[in-house]
Amino acid sequence: MNRVIMLLSLKPILYGLIGMLISGTVFPICGVIIVRNNLMPMRYMLMHGVILGGIISVSFSLPLLPITIILNILLVLLMVKMGKGKDGSLGSSSTAMMVFTMALASLFSHVSGVPAKDTLEVLWGSPFALTLSDLYILFFLAVMTLIYITLFFRPLSMIFFDKEVAMSMGVKVELHNTLMLLMTALVVSVSMKMVGALLIDTLVILPVIGAGKRAKGLKDLFVRSSLTGFILSLSGYFISLYFNLPTSGVLALLSVGAYVLESLAEKISNRRIKNA
Amino acid sequence: MFPLLCLDNVTAGYGEKIVIKDFSLTVNKGDHILLLGPNGSGKTTLFRLILGIIPPLKGKVEYPMGRSVSYARQDPPSSPFPISVEEVVEMGLWKSGREREKTINEALEMTDALHLKKRLFHSLSGGERQRVSLSRCLAQNSPLILLDEPSSFLDRESRDSFISLMEKVATPERAIIAITHDSTVIDRLGWKEVALERRRDDE
């Protein structure tokens, strides 16, 4: 324990803890948006945006986070401009943009002479790599997310419930959809640096899917997801420090464990209702 | 006579396809209207026009007393996403605290759905979902309610009880336009009928 306390006196460890706590608490809120609006395919596009950002950042010795944020915002705006498919989803345009991003990443890597394996480090991420300016960006993003969800909870709940009903009540559905996409782009960009692409679902998606099994309403879903994310990130971080293990791996394992427990609790509860 | 909605020679459709042509209708406070017509005659398009979801291609849509319309769709969403009945009913409300609670309870009580308040919307039966959707419209307290085929997914018993509910909420204070194909609904309610015809492509 003394070792963990001693480690916390080191700046990268402390920054990592602060980063994990902020993102663990606030990012699952964005996960609710991703799950509800079925933005799962879009996050692949955003992850590839981060890889392209990684190549550009290495080529020009630029800071990774601002580059990936700008790139992902541009990708989202391009995707929105391309429009929805016949099924009303952004699946087709996000796939096209993902391929476009991969092509650019491949060409850029070749032209600039940056070995692809160097940029693949981005896929793993690390909370210990967070700088003070990254933390400012993270804090700003978290505050903006909370303000947006709090101020627009009612219109958002209408959109989540039924877009046509929301439109009939005067909600600007297209504007909110674009804002939600941009927020997702920002969260994915920042999460990549924290836990890496391969484990992004750990922090953003799984807490929501797990919490959704027992949530009693939308507000309850937001609170439960956020609480789950907070507990997971805090415990995952300390366990990884204590046992000297990679944070992303520990966090992912805990997240899957929490999901399995939620599923079991749901099954038991359903059985009780059936027997009553 | 308090006109709530005036449709003046409106033409509406999607892109090149015209669904409604030169249609006029005035809805006054206390009017209760059944909108009839075969599939493809533009009943739902007319609702989308009234709700401002699509603009008219020609003609005018006016709300002399301001635009305040509530709407319940044919098949209320049933995807398993956790939204409670209470949250659905409060969607159209801009009140808080006790007043909010009171309005929600009154709206649910009026449709005999108060016992469903804490349930998840997607866990309800078709009839219960229709009742809750109607409660949301009532809580919104709009003078004009649009109901898109409210009885279409209901069994006989639920439909009978929903017709009684429609009779109950059809007060002189509010206007209701309901789309229906259901002859039992038409016969039992006996409301004013407005029919839309299906347009041929060459019209």
Which residue of chain B is at minimal alpha-carbon distance from A164?
A: B53
Q: What is the mean pLDDT of residues A47-55?
A: 85
Question: From CA B49, how far away is CA B148, in angstroms rounded?
Answer: 13
Chain B partners of A217 at a C-beta cutoff of 8 Å?
82-84, 86-87, 120
Q: What is the reported pLDDT for A63?
A: 85
Q: Spell out the alpha helix ranges (H) of B10-118.
A: 43-50, 85-89, 97-110
Q: pLDDT tens across A225-234, in order?
A: 999 999 999 9
The residues, any chain, with a CB within 8 Å of residue A79's CB and separated by 6 or more, are: A42, A45, A90, A93, A94, A97, A181
Question: Which residue, among B124, B133, B196, has the nearest Cα to B169 in the 3D structure?
Answer: B133
Which residue of chain B is at minimal alpha-carbon distance from A211?
A: B82
Q: What is the mean pLDDT of residues A127-138?
A: 86
Q: pLDDT tens across A246-265, in order?
A: 888 888 899 999 889 888 88
Query: Which of A160, A165, A212 faces B71 most closely, judged by CB atoms?
Result: A165
Please give the class, per CATH, of domain B1-68+144-161+174-203: alpha beta
Q: Where are the domains of chain B?
A: 1-68+144-161+174-203, 81-141
Which residue of chain B is at minimal alpha-carbon distance from A224?
A: B82
Query: Which of A154, A158, A167 faces B53 most closely, judged by CB atoms?
Result: A167
Q: Where are the domains of chain A?
A: 2-271
Q: What is the reported pLDDT for B102?
A: 92
Which residue of chain B is at minimal alpha-carbon distance from A174?
A: B53
Phi–psi pair at B11, nearest 5 degrees: -120, 135
B82 in contact with A, Cβ within 8 Å? yes
Chain B partners of A36 at a C-beta cutoff of 8 Å?
81
Q: Are A218 and B83 inside 8 Å of each other by CB?
A: yes
Please give the class, per CATH, of domain A2-271: mainly alpha
Query: Which of A165, A212, A216 faces B118 most closely, judged by CB atoms?
Result: A216
Q: Are B87 and A221 inside 8 Å of each other by CB?
A: no
Q: pLDDT tens across A104-122, in order?
A: 888 888 888 877 676 666 6
Q: Are B77 and A161 inside 8 Å of each other by CB?
A: yes
Q: Is B88 helix (H, G, I), strand (E, B) or coil?
A: helix
Smallest Cα distance from A175 to chain B, Å: 14
Q: What is the ipTM of this complex?
A: 0.83
Crossing angle for the helix pair B97-110 and B126-140, to the nearest 10 degrees: 130
Burial B72-83 (b: 16+ CB within 10 A, else e): bbbebbeeebbb
State the DSSP code for B124: S
As given in the structure block, the two tokens for residue A97 are: 């943009």
Residue A214 burial (C-beta neighbours within 10 Å; 0-12, 13-18, 19+)? middle
Q: Which CA distances in Å does B97 have to A107, B32, B101, B103? A: 58, 33, 6, 10
- Site from B81, B93, B146 to mutate, A interface, most A CB atoms within 10 angstroms: B81
Smallest Cα distance from B59 to chain A, Å: 20
Cβ–Cβ under 8 Å, residues B181 and B152? yes
Q: Model confidence at A138, in pLDDT bands (50, 70, 90)?
A: confident
Q: What is the reported pLDDT for A122?
A: 63
Q: Are A168 and B81 inside 8 Å of each other by CB?
A: no
State the DSSP code for B172: T
Q: pLDDT tens across B64-113, in order?
A: 888 889 998 877 777 778 999 999 999 878 777 888 899 999 999 988 88
A157 in contact with B, Cβ within 8 Å? yes
Q: pLDDT tens across A158-198, in order?
A: 999 988 889 888 899 989 999 998 998 888 888 777 667 65
Average pLDDT, rounded, for chain A: 85
Q: Are A168 and B52 inside 8 Å of each other by CB?
A: yes
B104 in contact with A, Cβ within 8 Å? no
pLDDT of B57 above 60: yes
Question: Which residue, among A180, A247, A197, has the nearest Cα to A50 in the 3D structure?
Answer: A197
pLDDT of A93 above 90: no
One-letter identity of residue B202: D
Q: Are B91 and A169 inside 8 Å of each other by CB?
A: yes
pLDDT of B154 above 60: yes
pLDDT of B152 above 80: no
Smallest Cα distance from B37 to chain A, Å: 22
Smallest Cα distance from B61 to chain A, Å: 15
B33 in contact with A, Cβ within 8 Å? no
Q: Which of A201-210, B12-21, B91-100 has the lowest mean pLDDT?
A: B91-100
Which residue of chain A is at minimal alpha-carbon distance from B133?
A: A165
B69 in contact with A, Cβ within 8 Å? yes
The residues, any chain, with a CB within 8 Å of residue A248's CB and separated by 6 or more, are: A124, A125, A126, A195, A196, A198, A199, A202
Question: Cα torsion for B152, A87, A212, A173, to the nearest 10°?
Answer: -90
Question: From CA A110, how far away is CA A99, in angstroms rounded?
Answer: 17
Question: Which residue, among B61, B29, B56, B65, has the nearest Cα to B174 in the 3D structure?
Answer: B29
Cβ–Cβ under 8 Å, residues A196 and A248? yes
